[in-house]
Structure 1
Amino acid sequence: MRPPVSSRLRPRSAAALVAVAALALSGLTACGSSAGSGDTAAAPSKLTVWIMRDSVSDSFLQRFRADYEGAHQGTTLDVQIQEWDGIGQKITSALASKDAPDVIEVGNTQVAQYAASGGVQDLSDKVDDLQGKDWIPGLAEPGKIDGKQYGIPWYAANRVVIYNKDLFAQAGITTPPKTRDEWIADTTKLNTGGNDGIYLSGQTWYALAGFVWDEGGDLAAKGADGKWTGTLDTPQAKAGMAFYQQLQALGSGPKDSDEAKPLQAEVFAKGRSAQVLSTPGGAAAILKANPALKDKLGFFPIPGKSADKPGAVFTGGSDLVIPESSRHQAAAYEVVKALAGDTWQSAMAKEMSYVPNRTSLAGVLSGDPGASAMAAGAVNGHATPNSPNWAAVEANNPIKQYMTQVLTGADPAVAGKTASEAITKALNSTS
């Protein structure tokens, strides 16, 4: 499930990212297991498309609908907005029915869950047509299950560093850091005079995941036998956690809660924190709490281990899927192709400050500092382990517990082993 990007940058199985708004599309006839196999000779009179609330603006969808209907005479797009609350069960039920919508927006990390039901069309033969080699990895990978592409990347969002320009200037820092070492050095300079070098809670686990990915590790791994194993006890995960601990210590963020308790935007808005990790849309919440910070906020990609590559980030966003029971699958694919194509990707990126689905389109965000930093970081985007059971991990989140334990003095090896066992159990559950 994925709340509005501004609050969500969390995987879509439990949700993920920044800024948003929405509308949708509706109804068809005849079914089939491959694109076009269920279409009648005549063009459909109506296509049903479900779009999640606050994903895109009403004006964007109105323009898209008018343009699409103008180019496809005889076709009507019935755009239907869906609420995030309860959407998982609603989509699952729709996929099992004989009268599903024709196109559905789903959170990118929810694709595995829905594909496991057998009700989502395999679109692997459309990847080349959609320029899939250019897709952002962290958005494309969750849509690909066991080598088959079920989800078509629509848009993405990821975290960046939002910083206070005045505090950087006072510390004599004129250029944002590009490497981890530079980041630690600058944050140390900023952590003086009663200021926090960075506000980072102890349980911001998406940030930890990025550091673990940078080390070549992951949160879990799938074996040749199809079984999953939690991997927070690996050397790579320990190295990622060690960096997190070093960075988190350069501020006064709580060790036993996440970025929502207290709301990090409100803490940053007090003007004493130099940096915070957030999607660019988090700047709006900061300015709402303290309008005096207008023009004082800057953005840069999370630094990587070397200057030639930004730090790894969790890529939240949405994919588009076509149900097997769509009655006009070929026509549904044309809707997906249009929404995922150059024209509407560029328009959506500019209007919504999203990262478009292809790396070659990142330039459309050049006039937006926050979105540009986000697009720069997106090239090293990743997703949570691609399991339909990932939501079960987040439900009792052993990663958060592991982080707090390490930050409060527990042996990382012992805490990592306990967390890994919990992840393993959740991912391999058949209930």
Structure 2
Amino acid sequence: MKLLDMKKTMIASAAAVAMIVPLGACGSSSETTSTDPKDASGEITIWGWGNGMNETIAAFEKAYPKIKVKYSSTGTGADTSKALNNAIAAGKGAPDVSMMLSTDVSKFAQEGSISDLKEFGANDMGKDFAPGIWGQAQFGGTTYGMPIGGGPMVFFYNEEVFSKAGIDTPPTTWDEWYEDAKKIRALGDDYYITNNAGDRDSYSEFNAMLWQLAAQPFKLDGENLTIDLTGDKQVKKFIDFQQKLIDEDLVNTSIRNWTDDWFRSLSDGTTASLAVGAWMPTNLESSSGAAKGKWRAADIPQWDPDHPTNAEDGGSVFTIPSQSKNKAAAWAFINYATHGDGAQIFVDHGNFPALKSILNGDEFKNATNEYFGGQKVNEVLSRAAQMDSSSYEFLPFSTYAQSIFGDYISKAYQGETSLKKAVASYQDALIDYAKEQGYTVK
């Protein structure tokens, strides 16, 4: 899966039209009972998206000749989630294996729509994966998905612009970052340390920053859902920090992520840095080529340098829908694609690795990147993925939460209201929606 495709999937609208699932995509009626992958046989269907899927499936069928795969490309993460919802509501039609955004795991797990993978030994595999990436596959203390890849937060910066502003080294704390923001802003009217328009495309970074702060604004316990963006002390710390940046004009609030203006600003250095997922290098190389040799990667700045932590900005997993008729064969594929030889195939096609064995491998870590001036960027990315990470629980309707995020939060970044008031209004909207979905909200 291309890293840009993974990021674009994260920001896909909840209003995306549901995929029309082909008849061949229904769960197989052939079932094997053993949980050992080598004993699996029969036919399975898979829903997913992105590069590397066809190649991984071909390699899997060669390694497991008794299993036949029918694959349906379901467009995006939002499309796949909606199609799976439709199949669940209908009581039939779900695949044996479904790719899923990590942010959707809690929703499908708590309603019993995807299988607990502990019977296959998945709970014992966590030590083999990067901690933040693995954490996104968990719900209620057990494993519901196997990670395909993730997006540990990394600090990417234009070394040339930083040097021009008199900054010799990248910031190690967010307080240092704030001081650097003022120096870069002094370079001229167009220069900012970063951009943030508070729109829906900044939703994932919003959650990642709360995650790094160890905030816990959301908690699901059965039908009881806690939504506490206004009372959580760590969320307040983030809001106050962002409000200071807005008030002092230290972030560019007029440029949205993933737009032509954004990539132009990354090319000419007027947007001088990004705190974003480790999938970003490919996007810079493909869309901001004029800045080749100027960008570098560094560890994400810390709130508490004595206790460094990180967070995830993106990720996807493979799950087994509860409707599957051949869970043993489904597990055989998932195990191969995420914990076996297939994991390297996904990495070879642009996916950020989840397995420590790949992250720590010489081939991955020692590769130099000419776009980043010959830096061994993967050393930084590997370190970011394996940094300590607290747990963070997403809303069980994260796709919807993202779809309305900009309607409320962007008003603060455009100076129409305070961020504190914007977040409070956003929280009210989330609570109203949660109640409509049948949750008891605290």
Q: TM over 0.5, yes or no?
A: yes
Deviations 1:92-130 (A, max 9, x none): 344455554321211111223333553322212334565
User: Post-superposition shift, 1:235?
Assistant: 2.8
CA deviation map 1:237-289 (0-9, x unaligned): 1211222334554645126x742467422322233232134445545554555
Residue 191 of structure 2, aligned match among 193, 196, 202: 196
Deviations 1:335-391 (A, max 9, x none): 1111121533244335415031x4464224312645543443334557874443333
* 1:267 counterpart = 2:265: yes
Kept in 2: contact 1:199–1:268 (CA 8 A):
no
Aligned match of 1:422 in 398, 408, 429? 429
Change in Cα spacing, 1:381 to 1:51, as seen in structure 2 (3 Å) is farther
Offset of residue 397 of structure 1: 1.9
Cα distance between partner residues in 1 of 2:26 and 2:429: 41
Displacement after TM superposition at 1:6 (Å)? 4.1
- The residue number in structure 1 matching 2:83 is 90
In the alignment, is residue 363 of structure 1 matched against residue 377 of structure 2? no
Distance in 2 (CA, whole Å) between partners of 1:333 and 1:318 is 16
Q: Assess, with a 3 A threshold, how the Cα gap between structure 1 residues 244 and 375 changes in structure 2: closer, same or farther.
A: farther
Do the aligned partners of 1:154 and 1:318 also contact (CA within 8 Å) in 2? yes
Contact 2:154 2:276 in 1 (8 A): yes
Kindly provide the amino acid, as one letter, of the partner of residue 360 in structure 2.
G
Query: Is contact 1:102–1:332 with CA below 8 Å preserved after alignment?
Result: yes
For the 8 Å contact 2:14–2:399, the answer to whether it is kept is yes
* Equivalent residue number for residue 322 of structure 1: 320
Match of 1:76 in 2: 68
Q: Deviations over 1:32-80 (max 9, x none)?
A: 9xx648x9x985343322221x2x336xx43x34543343333333333
Match of 2:20 in 1: none
Determine if contact 1:11/1:383 at 8 Å carries over to the other structure: no
C-alpha deviation, 1:407, in angstroms? 7.1
Query: Secondary structure in 2 aligned to 1:227?
Result: strand
Identity among equivalent pairs (%) = 19
Contact 2:28 2:324 in 1 (8 A): yes
Q: Secondary structure at the match of 2:437?
A: coil
Cα distance in 2 for residues equivalent to 1:43 and 1:238: 51
Partner of 2:209: 211
Partner residue of 2:241 out of 243, 247, 251: 243
Note if 1:389 corresponds to 2:387.
no
State the alpha-carbon separation in 1 of the partners of residues 112 and 270 from structure 2: 51
Residue pair 1:301, 1:373 contacting (<8 A) in 2 also:
yes
Distance 1:8 1:122 in 2: 25
Q: Which residue of 2 aligns with 1:29?
A: 29
What is the Cα deviation at residue 199 of structure 1?
A: 2.2
Alignment CA distance shift 1:114-1:66 (3 Å): same
2:277 and 2:249 map into 1 onto residues whose CA distance is 21
Question: 1:136, 1:428 → 2: CA distance?
Answer: 35
Q: Is the 8 A contact 1:269 1:293 kept in 2?
A: yes
1:152 aligns with 2:146: yes
Contact 2:13–2:403 at 8 Å: present in 1 too? no
User: 2:161·2:272 contact (CA, 8 Å) conserved in 1?
Assistant: yes
State the TM-score, normalizing by the size of structure 2.
0.77
Task: Name the CA distance, whole Å, in 1 between partners of 2:348 and 2:286.
Answer: 22
Q: Cα RMSD over matched residues?
A: 3.9
Q: SS of the residue aligned with 1:352?
A: coil
Structure 2 gap segments, 5+ residues each: 17-24, 369-375
Query: How far off is 1:393 after superposition?
Result: 2.4
Partner of 2:41: 44
Asked if 1:253 is matched to 2:252, the reply is yes
| Counterpart in the other structure of 2:117 | 123
* Aligned AA (1:254): T
Q: Give the secondary structure class of the aligned counterpart of 1:176.
A: coil
Write the deviation string for residues 176-209 of structure 1: whole angstroms up to 9, x where unpaired. Answer: 2222233223333323221524122131343343
| Structure of higher RCO (CA pairs closer than 8 Å, 6+ residues apart) | 2
Structure 1 gap ranges (5+)? 16-24
How far apart are the structure 1 equivalents of 2:101 and 2:9? 11
Compared with structure 1, are the counterparts of its residues 224 and 50 closer, same or farther at alpha carbon in structure 2 (3 Å cutoff)? closer
Moved more, 111-120 or 320-329: 111-120
For 1:382 and 1:5, the matched residues in 2 are separated by 23
Relative to the length of structure 1, the TM-score reads 0.78
